[in-house]
Structure 1
Amino acid sequence: MPLSMVNPGQSVILKSIRWGSKLRKKLYDMGLTEGVKITVISDNINGAFIINVRGSRVVLGSSLTNQIIVDVI
């Protein structure tokens, strides 16, 4: 399921990123790698998500959260 479908407070495991190699590498450098646990802190009406990954908070836009595929824990 895409990360955009996850509710605040829910934790998931990153399965894959379906985006170009440049952006995928940037996300990998930020700690978003396959198998990492992600907790959604909040989402807003505009589709931006605040997530917790490896102890850091990251803000992702709606177009990106649609391309990040996760599994529910």
Structure 2
Amino acid sequence: MCPITVMPEGSEVTVARVTGGGEASKRLSELGLVPGVQVSVVQNGGGPLLLKVGESRFALGQGMALKVFVDGACR
């Protein structure tokens, strides 16, 4: 398990755990980033990540992205 920030572009991963509490956790949940959900990493160039969950695409800053841990091989 590793933070989604280390996953390369084109990766399709499953959310394993979301850390943090309060507003951060609520916001990630509203975006659909909850355990068990499939996420595609569309762009990861060191700044905000561009993610796809279902048919939705959104940018997620590095700070928030570090709270999302996924299953898969860490690079």
- Give the TM-score range, shorter chain: 0.7 to 0.9
Give a deviation string over 1:16-71, Cα, whole Å, max 9, x none: 111122211121122111100000000123x2100001210010111111221100
Q: Give ranges in structure 2 of 5+ residues lacking alignment.
A: none
- Aligned ranges 1:20-59 → 2 under 5 Å: 20-45=21-46, 47-59=47-59
TM normalised by structure 1 equals 0.87
Answer whether contact 2:50 2:60 (CA < 8 A) is retained: yes
| Paired position in structure 2 for 1:15 | 16
How many aligned residue pairs are there?
Answer: 72
Runs of 4 or more, structure 1, over 4 Å off, are: none
Q: Give ranges in structure 1 of 5+ residues lacking alignment.
A: none
Q: Secondary structure at the match of 2:64?
A: helix
Identity of aligned residues (%): 26
